[in-house]
Chain A
Amino acid sequence: MHHIFPRWIVVFVVIAWCSSVNAQSCSLQLHFTSPVDNSIVRTNDVLRVEPVNITAFSNPPIRDGWLQVGIIHNDYGFDIEFSDEMEYFHYPVTTRLWEGRNNFELIGWRRALPLCESSDTKRLFYIKPDDQCYAMVEELDKIPQPPNDPANGFVINQRCVAKYSCGNRPQMKDKTWLTKVVPAFVQPFLDKSGKWNEVMEECRQQSNVLPRYIRKRSCEKRMADYHIAQDLQRALNTNGCGVLSDWDEVGGYVSECISEQNNALEAAVANLIVGTNRSRVRRNCIQQNDAQNVVAK
């Protein structure tokens, strides 16, 4: 064969074959058993050592030729290293949690052919107990959610967006902005100020007459539309429009929250509508600021 094909072609084909096999040949999964992933950890210290129970699964089993498996915490290198040749680990780790988002990436390589590399990322949030931003999430938790109430989806989504936004705030550029905007955005709904009572009443009345399959969708649309057009617009106009990178990051959490609660088809379109509406209220905010600056000059 070496006489027929140049050596470099043979090497190239072998590498390409290995790479193509790699994609399906192994996988790693990371699970937090306590606290569960995506949860919020609250303590009195800014930085503290917190036990995190981690379970790592591999397919095929780790004993099947894994060279090294470890966890990278917040991109700062291997925090924890596994060397046991086991199918899975229950590994109570004591690690230092950073304020805000804590990413844990499980990464591993396999030495036997087909060569392979795999990873899985999970996160925890550490938020101080007196945090003003997260206080909104706790207030949203107090709202009763009677079974079959078409407003439940909106409350869950609102909580989800507030949780991720506040949880990730320490990693954002303008932390002060988000600390002000989230309460300003959520409080009108908590207080049922503005036209919230009217919106909720319309929602309930319509839910009494619409076919069952559309009640939740109709109500959530009504609430989200009012919330963005009124509460978000006012929150931005009062507290600033935010830097684009922070705005986009919050947009990512909005999208994630919508996807958590809807099927893929519904989420794809809902994300387009919400994304367009968010962009428009931010543009209005920027235009208002520009107009004010002109007047001030």
Chain B
Amino acid sequence: MVHILIAFIFYLTVFSAFGTAIGGYEGDTPNVELQVSVNGQAIAGERELEKLSSTVTEQELRAAFDQSLISLTKGQSVQLTVEMIEPNGMRSDVTANPAMFYDAVGKGALSVSNDGLVTALSDSSGATIGQLLVLYNTPEKSGFNYVYFDTDPDK
């Protein structure tokens, strides 16, 4: 009984010290891709732009980046759709999957719900581009993307 208690305390200590990853994926690289769409239109996220960067000029990459920005006025919301693409090409809608994790870089510009509804906050200065992490993570499959939002009132 004492051994079980010691083992439990040890387990608790180790996990609270190092934290448990969302979904528990332990790999060093993602093994699925996430394609984000708005109103049925695929958006080039960070992963797509990074791949594109090896085949196009700096100017062409800049144009693709500008096109990838999702414009939002303050208080406006947009619903994202996220598709997981597995290495065999199989696609599935994971937008509201419990393994999804959405997180805005910088808390002042964007808020996001668990099912991918993104809102431009009314106190956003729009000084920097809104960046949203889209992450799918289970012990077996993990993938991420960042999508960009333009909440610049002067644009």
Cα A154 to Cα B135 in complex, Å, equals 22
The answer to whether B21 and A277 have CB atoms under 8 Å apart is: no
Cα A202 to Cα B105 in complex, Å, equals 10
Q: Which residues of B contact A266 (CB under 8 A)?
A: 50
The answer to whether B19 and A264 have CB atoms under 8 Å apart is: no
Number of B residues, CB within 8 Å of A: 42
The answer to whether A206 and B103 have CB atoms under 8 Å apart is: yes
Q: Which residues of A contact B20 (CB under 8 A)?
A: 209
The answer to whether A225 and B131 have CB atoms under 8 Å apart is: yes
B90 CB to nearest A CB, Å = 21
Binds B, one of A30-38, A76-84, A137-145, A268-276: A268-276
Closest chain A residue to B106, Cβ basis: A225
B140, CB-defined interface residue at 8 Å:
no
B7, CB-defined interface residue at 8 Å:
no
Cα A255 to Cα B133 in complex, Å, equals 23
Q: Which residues of B contact A42 (CB under 8 A)?
A: none
Instruction: Known contacts A208-B19, A209-B20, A280-B152; decide if A222 and B105 are in contact (CB<8 Å).
Output: yes
Cα A208 to Cα B105 in complex, Å, equals 16
Instruction: Known contacts A211-B22, A229-B125; decide if A222 and B106 are in contact (CB<8 Å).
Output: yes
Instruction: Known contacts A210-B21, A277-B129; decide if A269 and B49 are in contact (CB<8 Å).
Output: yes
The answer to whether B128 and A277 have CB atoms under 8 Å apart is: yes
Cα A269 to Cα B23 in complex, Å, equals 27
The answer to whether B106 and A211 have CB atoms under 8 Å apart is: no
The answer to whether B18 and A269 have CB atoms under 8 Å apart is: no
Q: Which residues of A contact B126 (CB under 8 A)?
A: 280
Interface readout for A194-216 with B: 1 if CB under 8 Å, 0 if not? 00000000100011111111100
B130 CB to nearest A CB, Å = 9
Q: Which of A211, A273, A281 contacts B27 (CB 8 A)?
A: A211
Cα A264 to Cα B49 in complex, Å, equals 12
A162 CB to nearest B CB, Å = 20
The answer to whether A272 and B128 have CB atoms under 8 Å apart is: no
The answer to whether A214 and B135 have CB atoms under 8 Å apart is: yes
The answer to whether B129 and A273 have CB atoms under 8 Å apart is: yes
Instruction: Known contacts A206-B103, A213-B30; decide if A273 and B21 are in contact (CB<8 Å).
Output: no
B137, CB-defined interface residue at 8 Å:
yes
A189, CB-defined interface residue at 8 Å:
no
The answer to whether A268 and B53 have CB atoms under 8 Å apart is: yes
B138 CB to nearest A CB, Å = 10
Closest chain B residue to A214, Cβ basis: B144
Q: Which residues of A contact B103 (CB under 8 A)?
A: 206, 218
Q: Which residues of B contact A281 (CB under 8 A)?
A: 127-128
Cα A280 to Cα B137 in complex, Å, equals 34
Q: Which residues of A contact B135 (CB under 8 A)?
A: 210-211, 214
A237 CB to nearest B CB, Å = 11
The answer to whether B105 and A211 have CB atoms under 8 Å apart is: no
Q: Which residues of B contact A280 (CB under 8 A)?
A: 126-128, 152
Cα A283 to Cα B127 in complex, Å, equals 9
B110 CB to nearest A CB, Å = 11
The answer to whether B22 and A221 have CB atoms under 8 Å apart is: no
Instruction: Known contacts A229-B106, A265-B50, A265-B51; decide if A211 and B131 are in contact (CB<8 Å).
Output: no
A196 CB to nearest B CB, Å = 13
A41, CB-defined interface residue at 8 Å:
no
B26, CB-defined interface residue at 8 Å:
yes
Closest 10 A-B residue pairs measured CB to CB? Answer: A208-B19, A268-B53, A265-B50, A277-B128, A229-B128, A225-B106, A229-B127, A272-B65, A211-B25, A221-B105
